[in-house]
Every structure is written in structure tokens, then in C-alpha cells.
Structure 1
Amino acid sequence: MVSFTAREVRDILISMFVIAAIFAYLFSKGLLANGTEIFLNNFILLIPALLVSVGLGFVLHELAHKFVAVRYGFYAEFRMWVEGLMFALFTAFIFSVVFVAPGAVYIHGTNISKEQNGKISIAGPLVNIALALFFLSLFPLVSHNPTDIVGYELHVIVTYGFIINSLLAVFNLIPFGPLDGGKVLSWNPVIWILIFIMAIMLAIKAYFGIY
């Protein structure tokens, strides 16, 4: 049975809010030339939408690792990485780039097989791909009128939900260092290739626009 400690819930909520605030700042920064009030209004308006689209993308990725690990009988817990969040805030505010590492799922157990490790690792990117496809399917249904506040919120959720989850899937599937891709490739190269190609196709669509 999957359970969460009070510390884990706290870490998840803090990570989600910080990530949403970082992206809200970056997406609103260009409005500073029009005045602080306009910037703040847009920043505040974006926070709830980005909590859903971006925050969930990061956190559900990590929780997918946890659920699969628990299913295999291991104890797994999400822990916030304070240094990673501080670094993300620094790079966003100083250099206007995003490098977010809010935390990770720590798995406690011995004798984790290559197959188990591969399946635990691929769970995160698969969640991001599923979320990207879900948001993409909703895009024709939402309003694109910026004067419609509710429609605008939904538009932001769907648009950035698709873009961020597509990029997250590709990034984490890169077979380098501690990223998920290396563990998946080591377990099953065919599955890694198929999933990586799917993620790249979604990322390309996100890059060139979904209109």
C-alpha cells in the first residue's frame, strides 16, 4: 500500500509551488516593461494554472517512480532538494533560464534487479508522455480569448501542460548520468528507443507550436 509521510506531503507541496512560481515569473517577465502592476497581475493569474500544468508534471513524474517501487516491495519516499530549488530560483531570476531539480524519490531496498530498476525509471517519463497527450487532446476545446479569464486559465494549463511535459519526457530519457534514460536503456534498448522517439515527436510539436 502506498503511503505518504507528513514530511513527504510538505516537500511535494513546496516543490510544486516553487516550480509554478518560477515558470510564472519567466512567462510574465516580458510584461515588466509595461509596469509592475501588469506584471504582478499576470504573475498571480498564472500561478494556479501552472500549479496544475507544470507542478503536476514534475511531481507526478517522481511519484510514478514511487508507486512502481512500492509495488515491487521497496520503501520509496519523495524528498525535496532545497539546493536544487534554490539553484532553479537563481538561474531563473538571474539568467532567465530554467534548470529545475525539485527533488527525487529515494528508494530503500537491496537486490533491485536491472528489470525492476528499468521499470521504476521509465514510469516517470511515461507519465509525462501521458500528460502531454492528455493536454494536447484538450487544446481544441479551450478558449484562446485572453479577455476570458476562465478560458485563459484553461488555455495556459493546456498549452504549458503539453509543452513542459513533452520536454520533461525527452530530457529524462536522455541516457546520461543519473537520468532515467540510462537505466531504461540498460534494461531494454528497444523499449527505450520506442519511448524516446515518441517523446521527441511530442517535443518537436511543442517546439514548433500546437496551433
Structure 2
Amino acid sequence: MLETSNDEVRDLIISFIVLSICFSIATAGFNVKAFISNLPIVMVGVALGSLLHELGQRYVAMKYGCHAEFKLWPLGLVIAFVTSFFGVVFASPGTTKISEDNLTDDIYGKISVAGPMANIVLALVFIIIAALIYPLKVHSDIFHLLYLICTVGFSVNSFLATFNLFPIYSLDGTKVMKWSVGVWIVTIAIAGIMMLISISIGPENMVQLLMGV
């Protein structure tokens, strides 16, 4: 059973709201109208990404008899907010604390990699759905909105996976590297390629390539 404390729920909600605002600012810049339009679209990708990241780590922690809880890092949110005005979000809103003492690097690494892996899988699901509804988006506003949500969700989750795998401070990448450098290289390579595709050619062009358009 996934037990969640009131403090953790509060921290997750604050993290979700701030990250949604940050990613919307990063894409819209100082255009208030674009920011307002982008915000609800961005929120879906951030919400699902944050939730699955946490649930992935929580599930693996439970398999090893550990309790995992998300703890907010206020300074990380401030950094994310400030950097968003430069078009990039250094998203480190908090970290998942493991209650078990004397936890081995092996177990800690497996728990940590589950979060970015959840973001990678979610990003792929988003881009696949976007490709499937691409032919329908011109016929319906609803499909067009879903298409936008999916393409943005791909970008957001690719970035979240890549950033969390950086081997700095208390990010997941530090624990994954201590467990297995090979696993870290493979996962950050996959996430990094997805993020670079999102930045360089854009998810919409990626969908068109997948569809052969």
C-alpha cells in the first residue's frame, strides 16, 4: 500500500504548481498570453511526470521493504523559477528520502533509476499517442488539444528524465552512478537523445517524421 503523509502531499502539490509555471515561462518567455495558453497544457505533462516519477521510486522502494517519501527543496524551486526566464528549467524541486538505514548502493541505485525511467516511458507514450492522433487533429479541436498536450508532455518528461540523471547534488544520477555506471550511461543517453530531439527538431517534426509526412 502506498502510504502518503500530509507533508508529502503538500510538497508534491507545491512542486507541481511551481514546475508547471516554470515550464510555461520557459516556453512562453515574457508573452503573458502565451503563458496563460501554455500553462494548462504544460500542467498535464508535469503532473503525470511528477506523479509517475514518485510512484516508480515508491514501488521499487516497497519491493525492498523501504519507505520512500518526497521532500521539497525550496531553493531548488527558486532556481527553477529564475532559470525558466532564460528558456531552460533547472528542475530540482526536491528529492525522495529513503527511511531505511544502511541501504546499499545497489538498492538505492535501483530505487533512484525508477523515477527517470518512468519519465522516459511516459515521454514515449506521449509521442506515440501524438503520432496516432496526428491525422485527426485537423478535424477536431479536442484532438488538436490532445496532440498539443502529448507533444509538450514528451518534451517535459524527456527533460525531467535527463535532468534528474545528472550526477550532481542529491539528484537520482548520483545514486544510479554509485550502483552501476553502465546503467547510468544507458539511461541518460536515452533520455538525453530524446531531449535533444525535442530541442533540435521539436516533437511536432518528430511526429511528422514518424508518420512519414
- TM-score bin (small chain): 0.7 to 0.9
Identity of aligned residues (%): 39
* Aligned match of 1:3: 3
Deviation at 1:64, TM superposition (A): 2.2
Aligned with residue 178 of structure 1, among 170, 192, 200 = 170
8 Å Cα contact 1:50/1:156 also seen in 2: no
* Aligned match of 1:17: 17
* Partner SS for 1:105: strand
1:1-211 maps to which residues of 2 (within 5 A)?
1-29=1-29, 32=31, 39-40=32-33, 42-93=34-85, 95-142=86-133, 149-207=141-199, 208-210=201-203, 211=205
8 Å Cα contact 2:25/2:87 also seen in 1: no
* Partner SS for 2:29: helix
8 Å Cα contact 2:61/2:68 also seen in 1: yes
Deviation at 1:47, TM superposition (A): 2.4
8 Å Cα contact 1:77/1:105 also seen in 2: yes
Structure 1 residues 18 and 196 mapped into 2: Cα distance closer, same or farther (>3 Å)? closer
Q: Across the two proteins, how many residue pairs are aligned to each other? A: 202
* Partner SS for 2:123: helix
Query: For residue 137 of structure 1, what is the amino acid of its counterpart?
Result: I
Show structure 1 runs of 5+ residues with no match.
33-38
* Aligned match of 1:36: none
**What is the TM-score with the length of structure 1 in the denominator?**
0.81
Structure 1 residues 135 and 82 mapped into 2: Cα distance closer, same or farther (>3 Å)? same
- CA–CA distance in 2 between the matches of 1:14 and 1:177? 21
8 Å Cα contact 1:54/1:160 also seen in 2: no
Residues 139-169 of structure 1, C-alpha deviations (whole Å, 9 max, x = no match): 2233596996534432332112111212222
Deviation at 1:110, TM superposition (A): 0.9
**What is the TM-score with the length of structure 2 in the denominator?**
0.80
Query: For residue 11 of structure 2, what is the amino acid of its counterpart?
Result: D
Structure 1 residues 149 and 84 mapped into 2: Cα distance closer, same or farther (>3 Å)? farther
* Partner SS for 2:92: coil
What do you get for the CA RMSD once the two structures are aligned?
2.6
* Partner SS for 1:112: coil
Query: For residue 180 of structure 1, what is the amino acid of its counterpart?
Result: D
Structure 1 residues 146 and 178 mapped into 2: Cα distance closer, same or farther (>3 Å)? farther
- CA–CA distance in 2 between the matches of 1:102 and 1:120? 18
Deviation at 1:103, TM superposition (A): 1.7
Deviation at 1:176, TM superposition (A): 3.8
